[in-house]
Chain A
Amino acid sequence: MDSNLKREIIIDNVENPFHKGLENKDDFIKANTHNESCIDNIDLYVKIENEKIVDAYFEGEACAITTSATSIMLKNIIGKTKEEARDIMREYYKMIEEEEFNNLKLGELNAYQDISKQPSRKKCATLPFQTLEKTLIISDMEIKDKN
Chain B
Amino acid sequence: MQREDFPMLNKDIIYFDNGATTFKPKEVINGVLDYYTNYTSNAHRGDYDLSQKVDYLYESTREVVQKFINAESSKEIIFTSGTTMSLNMIVSSFMRYYLAKGDEVLITKSEHASNVLPWLELEREKGIVVKYIPLDKDYKVTLENIQKVVTSKTKVISLAYVTNVIGDIRPIKEISKFAHSKDILMVVDGAQSVPHLKTDVIGDDIDFLAFSGHKMLGPTGVGVLYAKEKYLKVMKPLLYGGGMNSRFESDKKVEYKDLPLRLEAGTQNIAGVLGLREAILYLEKIGIDKIHKHEVELKKYLLKKLETIDNIEIYNKQSETGIVVFNIKNIFSEDTSRYLNHYKICVRAGNHCTKMLKDELGVKNTCRISFYLYNTKEEIDKLIAILKDNKRIYEVIL
A and B interact: yes
A→B interface (CB under 8 Å) = 6-7, 10-11, 14, 38-41, 61-65, 67
* Chain A residues positioned under 8 Å from B394 (CB to CB): 7, 10-11, 14, 64
- Name the CB-closest residue of B to A4: B395
Residues of A within 8 A of B349 (CB): 39
Count of chain B residues with a beta carbon within 8 Å of a chain A beta carbon: 14
Give the Cβ gap from B354 to chain A, nearest Cβ, in Å.
13
Q: Is B364 positioned at the interface, with any CB of A under 8 Å from its CB?
A: yes
Do A7 and B395 have beta carbons less than 8 Å apart?
yes
* Contacting residues of chain B (325-348) with chain A, CB-CB under 8 angstroms: 332-335, 338
Q: How far is the CA of A62 from the CA of B350 in the complex (A)?
A: 11
Structural contact, A61 and B398, CB atoms closer than 8 A = no
- A61 proximity list for chain B (CB < 8 A): 332, 364-365
B334 to chain A, nearest CB (A): 5
Q: List, in ascending order, chain B residues with CB within 8 A of A67's CB.
A: 332
Assess A64 versus B365: contact at CB under 8 Å? Given A38-B350, A39-B334, A39-B350.
no
Spell out B's residues near A (CB within 8 Å).
332-335, 338, 349-351, 364-365, 394-395, 397-398
Are A7 and B332 closer than 8 Å at their CB atoms? no
B397 touches A64 (CB 8 A): yes
- A-B contacts, 20 of them at CB < 8 A, read A6-B398, A7-B394, A10-B398, A11-B398, A14-B394, A38-B350, A39-B333, A39-B350, A39-B351, A39-B365, A40-B334, A41-B364, A61-B364, A61-B365, A62-B332, A63-B332, A63-B338, A64-B332, A64-B335, A65-B398
Query: CA A39 – CA B338 in complex, angstroms?
Result: 13
Q: Please give, as numbers and ranges, the residues of chain A lying within 8 Å of B395 by CB-CB distance.
A: 7
Closest to A39 in B: B350
Q: Chain B residues with Cβ under 8 A from A7's Cβ?
A: 394-395, 398
With A and B bound together, what is the CA distance between A64 and B332 in angstroms?
7
Q: Closest CB of chain A to B315's CB: distance in Å?
A: 15
